[in-house]
Amino acid sequence: MRRDVGIISLAALMVWGCAAPAVAASASGSSLVFDFEDGHVLYAEDIDQPWYPASLTKMMTAYMAFTAIKEGRAKKDTKVKISAAAYKMPPTRLGMKTGSEITLDDALRALMMRSANDVAVAIAETLGGDEASFVKEMNQTAARLGMTHTHFINPHGLPAEKQVSTARDMGLLSQALLKDFPEEAPLYSLTSATIGKITIGTHNALLTSFDGGDGIKTGYTCASGYNLAASATRDGRRLIAIVLGAPSNSARTARASALLESGFRTHEWKTSFPIARLQNYPREVIGTPYEPDELILGRFRACSAPPPPPKPEPATASADSATKAGGTAAAPAAKIEKTSAQNASASKKAPRNTSKKKRTKQ
């Protein structure tokens, strides 16, 4: 009898591993989809390949902010000041003047929806005392969460040669963000908000294009390509998909949609035999290195420098004429609306291994 059970189990494993894949292999980057609750991996492709996280970095910045609130070191109405260093950050930006203040609550909306680099620095300075101290805490938290192949250099994800992660680690971070702070989940599904005089929209097209799509963060630099951590919930079951290195905004949305759709369709039989969870899925890299490899270094070196910071602000003019932030010392509370997604990411393909790289916008 025991032998029969063993044969049946072995047969099931062979079917799981050898059946024609429900998701076609990606032409570039890494892909992953797993069950949010137990981490059961439903599809994985190169999940330990080092990659630039770009603005997926801001998920950790948000995690740090929520931790500070939970521990009583900050509140939702804590004032976040835009310093001179924050103001100088290249796009994407919220665009408020140096010295302006917004609440931490509004700052988190700008961080997760607009992917505002100036706000990421302002949050780091407010909660960490300075950016370097905050980044040190980010790396300590990453280690605690089991993100063994991740190293942060900054809180926003703008190009840094040694700021690397993996699809597995971004999956662990997405899962932790949703599990440890479930009350904050509605933030990731917002598609529109107003902060002071500035109306912001989400970059995540999957929120309105995929049935059940409810989060969580996009990212883009020239070297990283188009990244996406996506979540969707159907019939009470939530799945998380990670896409790194897609060639365009539309490609990352399509890839994540295919992963999630396949995950929902195959979940029942793939979870009948608990083969591997995200934490113990067979690793392609032994140990805890987080050095970039030649593949992503080649992409990084082929890309041009990020766009220059904004010009010094005039004494009376608004800091960012494109967004007309205004000159008030503190912005009014945000007005939130769930409307159609305002996808600001360009749909051009991320260039690869050529000297004509231009885009670094997140």
Which residue matches tokens 């492709």? 45
Element (H, E) at 167: helix 167-180
Q: Is 101 helix (H, G, I), strand (E, B) or coil?
A: strand
Q: Name the token pair of 353.
A: 């291994």
DSSP state of 192: E
Q: Which residues are annotated as a binding site for substrate?
A: 217
Q: What is the largest CA-CA distance in the chain?
A: 84
Q: What are phi and psi of 243, to 5 degrees?
A: -125, 125
User: Which are the contacts of 183, defined by CB distance < 8 A and separation ≥ 6?
Assistant: none
List, edge to edge, every strand of the sheet that includes 225-234.
Answer: 41-45, 30-35, 237-246, 225-234, 213-221
Pair 41, 281: CB distance under 8 Å: yes
Q: Name the token pair of 290.
A: 């987080």
- Please give the positions annotated as active site: 55, 58, 115
Q: Which of 277, 263, 57 is nearest to 168 (CA)?
A: 277
DSSP state of 102: E
HSE (CB half, 13 Å, CA atoms) of 155? Answer: 34
Q: Which residues are annotated as a binding site?
A: 217
CA distances from 174 to 56, 80, 142 (A): 9, 24, 12
